């Protein structure tokens, strides 16, 4: 991925922020275009930070063992001392060489002093930082006015740039191909875990993406709750629901879509539910275009289902998505979400219904909002299998 430092600097200026520290692994990568290894593994802010200061070349701070891998062209790079004990060849030969221990916060302190930021407005990721770490920062720089920039990063990530869109399309295609592979092999008598294995093996064979750890297949009563794939055997009475996707490893971007399939002898009421959800889903997709409000998009799907099933309650019918670890990010397709669709957004549009102890559905696709409408990013895996098509023929003729 390309560095998004310039985009963040523009937003800082608009909000009157003189300096900003990107300290979560995903936002460090968003700013720098590089994923820090130990930072990603530990998810602790002491291992890496990207520092943006108004009017100054961005700085990356990392462990001495890793900073040789950083981008030294577009960023100033500072190394702090680690337990690894790295030395240059000359230092190894110099018997008088000694090394002072410098921490990440020591480097931040130098930047604050050098650029006279002791009383500046400094953005930090309060939704990420451990309380103890933030308390240390406040004690070290008591005059600094710290502000939370976690929402700023979410806002920045709503509209995708071309390199992000291209990477998303790669990841989504891999997930779509893997689920289609499962659809082509699904049979009653298989277990949920067998389906999960088919999916994950196909994803892993890409060599590019990794199955999302929360991806799961649920059938029957397991389709009506949140859980992982089990050894439950799929019966003729079941709905089989998949919800999940893939992630791009240390590039953090992730996907999310769903399918729900009817087995051979399901309750006719379940056919009506799926038919309704499919209709609501198609209405929502058909309406997608820049300028449509999230509230109106929500009501298109929600009101269609509510009309036939007055008990239906749902908080949202989709969401934005970008970098993990979370999959669902604001803005949400919800009745209380302000704003409108814009070109460059990638959204998961979903129409679920979960019935505890019985069965469950989620009809979900990923889409890219374009200047004229939308592009469907998950077109390969069918919502209706050939083996269940007769249900809907009967329904339309009745």
Strands 145-148 and 76-80: unpaired
CB atoms under 10 Å from CB of 328, counted, come to 13
**Displacement of CA 206 from its chain's centroid (Å):** 20
State the pLDDT at residue 330.
94
**Cβ distance 281 to 351 under 8 Å?**
yes
Q: Per the omega criterion (within 30 degrees of 0), is the bond before 325 cis?
A: yes
Taking only the tens of pLDDT, the chain with its 398 residues reads 788 999 999 999 999 999 999 999 999 999 999 988 888 889 999 999 999 999 999 999 999 888 888 878 899 999 998 765 666 777 667 767 666 788 999 999 999 999 999 999 999 999 999 999 999 999 999 999 999 999 999 999 999 999 999 999 999 999 999 999 999 999 999 999 999 999 999 999 998 999 998 899 999 999 999 999 999 999 999 999 999 999 987 788 999 999 999 999 999 999 999 999 999 999 999 999 999 999 999 999 999 999 999 999 999 999 999 987 788 999 999 999 999 999 999 999 999 999 999 999 999 999 999 999 999 999 999 999 999 999 998 655 54
Contacts of 303 (CB under 8 A, 6+ apart): none
Q: Per the omega criterion (within 30 degrees of 0), is the bond before 341 cis?
A: no
| Residue 382, both tokens | 């069918």
**Cβ distance 346 to 165 under 8 Å?**
yes
Residue ranges and CATH numbers for the domains of the chain are 5-156 (3.40.350.10), 162-397 (3.90.230.10)
State the pLDDT at residue 180.
98
Q: What is the DSSP string of 314-364?
A: -S-SEEE--BSS-S-EEEESSTT--SB--TTBEEEEEEEEEETTTEEEEEE
Handedness of CA 382, 384, 389, 394 (dihedral sign): negative
**Cβ distance 344 to 302 under 8 Å?**
no
Instruction: Round to whole Å and give the CA distance between 146 and 143.
Output: 9
DSSP β-bridge partners for residue 318: 349
Best CA proximity match to 314, nearest among 302, 323, 331? 302
Contacts of 309 (CB under 8 A, 6+ apart): 273, 276, 353
Instruction: Give me the phi and psi of 262, to 5 degrees please.
Output: -95, 135
Place of tokens 């890496």: 48
Longest CA pairwise span in the chain (Å):
91
DSSP β-bridge partners for residue 355: 359
Instruction: Give me the phi and psi of 285, to 5 degrees please.
Output: -60, -40
| Residue 272, both tokens | 């009506």
Report the predicted TM-score, pTM, of the whole model to 2 decimal places.
0.91
Instruction: Round to whole Å and give the CA distance between 326 and 155.
Output: 15
Instruction: Round to whole Å and give the CA distance between 99 and 81.
Output: 8
**Cβ distance 349 to 367 under 8 Å?**
yes
Q: What is the DSSP string of 236-295?
A: TT-EEEEEE-EE-GGG-BB--EEEEEE-TT--HHHHHHHHHHHHHHHHHHHH--TT-BHH
């Amino acid at each position: 991925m390309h560095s998004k430092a310039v985009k963040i600097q523009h937003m800082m200026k608009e909000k009157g922020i003189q300096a900003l520290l990107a300290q979560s692994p995903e936002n460090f990568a968003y700013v720098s275009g590089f994923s820090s290894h130990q930072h990603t593994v530990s998810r602790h802010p002491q291992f890496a930070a990207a520092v943006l200061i108004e009017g100054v070349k961005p700085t990356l701070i990392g462990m001495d063992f890793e900073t040789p891998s950083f981008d030294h062209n577009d960023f100033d790079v500072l190394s702090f001392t680690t337990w690894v004990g790295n030395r240059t060849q000359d230092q190894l030969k110099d018997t008088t060489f000694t090394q002072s221990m410098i921490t990440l916060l020591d480097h931040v302190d130098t930047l604050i002093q050098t650029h006279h930021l002791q009383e500046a407005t400094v953005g930090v990721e309060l939704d990420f930082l451990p309380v103890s770490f933030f308390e240390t920062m406040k004690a070290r720089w008591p005059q600094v006015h710290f502000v939370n920039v976690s929402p700023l990063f979410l806002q920045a990530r709503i509209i995708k740039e071309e390199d992000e869109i291209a990477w998303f399309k790669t990841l989504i295609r891999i997930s779509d191909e893997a689920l289609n592979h499962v659809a082509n092999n699904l049979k009653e008598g298989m277990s949920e875990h067998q389906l999960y294995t088919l999916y994950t093996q196909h994803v892993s064979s890409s060599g590019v993406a990794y199955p999302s750890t929360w991806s799961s297949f649920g059938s029957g009563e397991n389709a009506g709750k949140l859980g992982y794939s089990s050894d439950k055997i799929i019966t003729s009475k079941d709905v089989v629901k998949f919800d999940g996707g893939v992630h791009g490893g240390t590039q953090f971007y992730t996907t999310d879509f769903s399918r729900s399939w009817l087995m051979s002898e399901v309750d006719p009421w379940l056919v009506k539910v799926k038919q309704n959800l499919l209709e609501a889903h198609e209405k929502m997709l058909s309406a997608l275009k820049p300028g449509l409000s999230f509230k109106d998009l929500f009501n298109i799907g929600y009101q269609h289902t509510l009309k036939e099933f007055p008990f239906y309650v749902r908080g949202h019918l989709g969401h934005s998505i970008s970098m993990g670890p979370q999959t669902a990010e604001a803005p949400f397709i919800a009745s209380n979400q302000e704003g409108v669709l814009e070109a460059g957004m990638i959204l998961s549009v979903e129409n679920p219904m979960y019935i505890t102890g019985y069965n469950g559905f989620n009809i979900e696709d990923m889409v890219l909002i374009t200047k004229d409408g939308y592009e469907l990013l998950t077109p390969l895996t069918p919502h209706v299998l050939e083996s269940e098509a007769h249900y809907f023929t009967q329904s339309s003729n009745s």
